[in-house]
């Protein structure tokens, strides 16, 4: 039996332990073979040397996480427990704030693959960000777009996605075409208002500095000095994604996001995203970042759902 003492001196124990010790109970569930006792700013841990050693690694990542983000959830603990310390701590000295939003909100790259996405956009003009729901693909891309606009590296942001019906008929929705399409584009609006004041978003939308539009509206245009994000690209057809990719103008940045497992195209049409990833994989200046369930920032059950579907042969 091995015993060690781990100090969290300098951190708020309420943040680390969670409301009514919820995080402490989560740690106990993650390490069922250990006896974990919390006393003030110390953890006393007993168990096998191997299990205690892994717990120490996880707690070093927890300390770094709380020091950086001033928060810790059960979902954070679940993700950290599955992470590699060397990879996480490699980024410990990096200021990973992408953009400062309203009310002191700071938008970070919070996982190793999100860091890779940020670096890829810096180094390449066209980046594919592919992975399951909740991995921060679109959110990170929008943050990078807002940063580029604030830094005056682009003159406008263009956010687009195909208006493909996921089991619903667009024609039966109420309102004019804009009102029919707005629900499809709402995640993009939500991300924007996390990073810019609501009145500034409204002003930019009115002036065309930010444009949120369905993919069909890109036809015939040349998108110069713009940060352009194509969201839900798995629902493009091959002609559509070819049309979109060839709209790229001078001094433009393109980020194409999608989840190859959630294609809603009718009649078994081939996804334009899958085709583009295959034929463009060796083109210099184009990068592909693949995010996984480890990057999921939503409820921890989302990661469990993704894993279950990946294992399901049907």
Residue range(s) of every CATH 3.30.1370.10 domain in the chain: 2-90
pLDDT at 198: 86
For range 153-176, the mean pLDDT? 68
Model pLDDT for residues 262-305, shown as the tens digit of each residue? 888 877 789 999 999 999 999 999 999 999 877 776 666 766 77
pLDDT(117) > 90: yes
Is the pTM here over 0.75, yes or no? no
pLDDT at 179: 64
Averaged pLDDT of the chain: 84
Q: What are residue 254's DSSP bridge partners?
A: 126, 228
pLDDT at 210: 93
**2-90 homologous superfamily:** K Homology domain, type 1 (3.30.1370.10)
Model pLDDT for residues 208-250, shown as the tens digit of each residue? 999 988 888 888 899 999 999 999 999 999 999 999 999 999 9
pLDDT at 298: 64
Exposure on the CB side of residue 1, measured as CA atoms within 13 A = 7
pLDDT at 167: 40
Model pLDDT for residues 172-205, shown as the tens digit of each residue? 555 555 566 667 777 788 888 888 888 888 899 8
For range 53-75, the mean pLDDT? 84
Q: What are residue 107's DSSP bridge partners?
A: 99
Compute the C-alpha angle 111/114/118, nearest 5°. 140
Confidence of residue 166 (pLDDT cuts 50, 70, 90): very low
pLDDT at 172: 53
* Complete DSSP assignment for 204-260: HHHHTSEEEEEGGGGTT--B-SEEEEE-SGGG--HHHHHHHHTTB-TT-EEEEEE-T
Model pLDDT for residues 88-103, shown as the tens digit of each residue? 666 555 556 788 777 6
pLDDT(28) > 60: yes
Strand order in the sheet with 286-290: 210-214, 156-161, 226-230, 253-258, 126-130, 286-290
CATH class of segment(s) 97-311: alpha beta
pLDDT at 32: 93
CB 54 within 8 A of CB 106: no
CB 54 within 8 A of CB 93: no
Count the Cβ atoms, other than its own, within 10 Å of residue 277.
20
Q: Which residues contact 177 (CB under 8 A, 6 or more apart)?
A: none
Residue range(s) of every CATH 3.40.50.300 domain in the chain: 97-311
For range 123-140, the mean pLDDT? 91
């Amino acid at each position: 039996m091995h015993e060690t003492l781990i100090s969290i001196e300098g951190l708020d124990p309420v943040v680390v332990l969670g409301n009514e010790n919820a995080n402490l109970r989560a740690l106990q569930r993650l390490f069922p073979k250990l006896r974990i006792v919390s006393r003030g700013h110390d953890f006393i841990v007993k168990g096998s040397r191997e299990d205690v050693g892994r717990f120490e690694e996880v707690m070093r990542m927890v300390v770094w996480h709380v020091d950086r983000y001033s928060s810790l959830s059960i979902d954070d603990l679940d993700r950290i427990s599955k992470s590699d310390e060397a990879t996480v701590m490699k980024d410990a000295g990096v200021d990973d704030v992408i953009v400062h939003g309203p009310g002191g909100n700071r938008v970070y790259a919070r996982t190793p693959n999100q860091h890779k996405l940020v670096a890829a956009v810096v180094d390449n003009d066209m980046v594919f960000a592919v992975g399951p729901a909740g991995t921060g693909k679109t959110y990170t891309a929008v943050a990078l777009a807002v940063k580029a606009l604030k830094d005056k590296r682009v003159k406008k942001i263009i956010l687009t996605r195909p208006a493909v019906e996921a089991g619903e008929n667009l024609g039966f929705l109420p309102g004019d075409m804009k009102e029919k399409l707005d629900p499809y584009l709402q995640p993009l609006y939500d991300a924007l208002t996390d990073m810019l004041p609501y009145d500034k978003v409204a002003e930019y939308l009115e002036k065309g500095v930010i444009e949120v539009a369905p993919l069909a509206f890109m036809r015939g245009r040349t998108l110069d000095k713009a940060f352009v994000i194509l969201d839900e690209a798995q629902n493009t057809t091959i002609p559509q994604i070819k049309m979109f990719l060839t709209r790229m103008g001078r001094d433009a940045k393109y980020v194409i996001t999608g989840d190859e497992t959630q294609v809603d195209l009718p009649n078994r049409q081939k996804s334009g995203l899958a085709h583009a990833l295959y034929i463009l994989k060796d083109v210099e200046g184009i990068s592909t970042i693949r995010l996984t369930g480890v990057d999921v920032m939503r409820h921890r059950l989302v990661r469990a759902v993704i894993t279950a579907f990946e294992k399901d042969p049907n």
